[in-house]
Each structure stands twice: as C-alpha cells, then as structure tokens.
C-alpha cells in the first residue's frame, strides 16, 4: 500500500469526487476571424444552415440549437433575415456529440484502522485495613472499538466522457449562389459524462458568446458554474421564448 499525505489540490479533488457536488464546467473555445467580419456591422442579417452530417434544418434538434443561438447572435448585433429576403451572411452550424472517450482519474482516499471491541481481564490487588496485599482478584472490563486515520491510498477510476461540440462558420452572401471566404469561425467544446447535448448547450453559449465573430489566441478555457448569473438569465430567456 502506498501511503502519502495529500496536497491541498488532492484534498479538493477528493471532496468534489466523493461528494458529487462538482459545479464547475470548463468550456473550450477557439475562435478565428478575418477583417471582413468587421464590415458586417450591427444589424446585419443572417441565416443558419446545417453543417452536421445527417441533420436537416427541418429536424427538431437543429431547430433547438438555432433557437438557442438566436439570443447570442442578437447580442452581437445580428438578427435573423426576414422570410423571402436575402441575408447578409450565412452561418453553417455543426452540432454533434463525439464518440465515447475513456478517461482515468487518480485520487486519494483515507484509510482507517480499528482497534478495541473486546473484553480484557487484569489482576487487581486486594489490600486490608493496614494497606497490605492479602490476595489478587480478577477484574474484567470492555475496551471500546475505536478507529484512527492510518494514512491515504491512491485509487484509480476509469469513466467515459463525451465532447459536446458546436462549430459555427460564417460567410458573406454575395448573391443568391455565391458565398465569400470564411469571415469568422468558432469551435466550442464541453466534455462531461452525460450524453445530453441540450443540457450542455447553455453552458457552451454563455461561455463562448463574447468570442463569436472574434479571435482567440489559441484555445481558451472558460469555466461556468451552475449558479452563474448569466447562465441562469440565459436559461430563463430560452424557457420564456420557448
């Protein structure tokens, strides 16, 4: 057995793992933009098209993703094009779940040892009035069971996770048949053990909202908690609009 004293980081991980109360969710965001994205301006209109293999715009999954995207894009100053009008730009949407990914986690857990829980007999001297030992008597008493912390042991846990992936790619619509080169793109990923894409989507969009149409220096990791004010407001808006 490999005993060791855990660091503060290890203790924190133990508490989160054993309690099941982890509330922090990291979201990975990678955004690129070209100079042309700046010329769209506030008030530019867009249309959403599916870029997810096997998913059509008419399907409920795409419609739900599109509905969640609308307040985020509106917050950037964009609005959906009116029916029958030619939008200023098009956003290709690829929303999907990754294949299962196996990960492992090493954590420390406490080891306790016990002693006691038995009867013990001892010889007790019996003295007379003069203080002399005249005989010995046998006395029994119970040693109560007690436990003590003996150290820590490393454990390994394997589990399956899934990346919830959302890729957006924007191009200007030059005419009814022609699109420009890509003017901005963003990839958003959130990894959890759940396969529920819809429950992860608000976290992903709240984390990535400020970066849509912008540029990151490589991949950024934004942590969102379950009680985040922006997340709660976003969920409330979706519920109201839905």
**With bands split at pLDDT 50, 70 and 90, how would you rate the model's confidence at 1?**
very low
Residue 35 is predicted with a pLDDT of 66
Report pTM: 0.72
Q: Which of 13-22, 103-112, 152-161, 192-201 has maximum average pLDDT? A: 192-201
Quick one: what percent of the chain has pLDDT higher than 70?
88
Residue 119 is predicted with a pLDDT of 82
Residue 3 is predicted with a pLDDT of 41
Torsion angles phi and psi, residue 82, rounded to 5 = -65, 150
Residue 18 has pLDDT above 70, yes or no: no
Residue 39 is predicted with a pLDDT of 64
Residue 146 is predicted with a pLDDT of 84
Residue 115 is predicted with a pLDDT of 74
**With bands split at pLDDT 50, 70 and 90, how would you rate the model's confidence at 14?**
very low
Residue 15 has pLDDT above 90, yes or no: no
Q: Worst-scoring range by mean pLDDT, 156-160, 182-186, 193-197? A: 156-160
What average pLDDT does this structure show over 5-11?
45
Helices 229-241, 60-75: crossing angle, 10 deg rounding = 120
């Amino acid at each position: 057995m490999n005993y060791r004293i855990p660091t503060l980081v290890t203790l924190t991980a133990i508490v989160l793992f054993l309690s099941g109360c982890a509330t922090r969710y990291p979201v990975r965001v990678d955004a690129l933009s070209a100079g042309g994205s700046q010329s769209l301006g506030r008030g530019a209109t867009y249309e959403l098209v599916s870029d997810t293999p096997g998913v059509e715009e008419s399907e409920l999954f795409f419609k739900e993703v599109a509905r969640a995207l609308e307040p985020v894009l509106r917050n950037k100053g964009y609005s959906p094009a009116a029916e029958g009008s030619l939008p200023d730009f098009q956003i290709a949407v690829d929303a999907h779940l990754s294949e299962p990914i196996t990960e492992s986690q090493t954590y420390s857990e406490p080891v306790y040892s016990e002693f006691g829980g038995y009867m013990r007999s001892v010889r007790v001297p019996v003295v007379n009035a003069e203080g002399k030992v005249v005989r010995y008597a046998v006395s029994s008493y119970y040693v109560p069971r007690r436990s003590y912390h003996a150290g820590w042991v490393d454990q390994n846990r394997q589990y399956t996770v899934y990346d919830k992936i959302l890729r957006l790619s924007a191009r200007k619509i030059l005419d009814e048949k022609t699109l420009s080169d890509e003017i901005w793109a963003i990839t958003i990923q959130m990894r959890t053990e759940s396969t529920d894409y819809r429950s992860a989507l608000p976290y992903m969009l709240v984390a990535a909202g400020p970066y849509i149409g912008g540029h990151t220096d490589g991949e950024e990791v934004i942590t969102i908690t379950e009680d985040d004010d922006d997340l709660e407001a976003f969920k409330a808006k979706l519920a109201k609009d839905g």
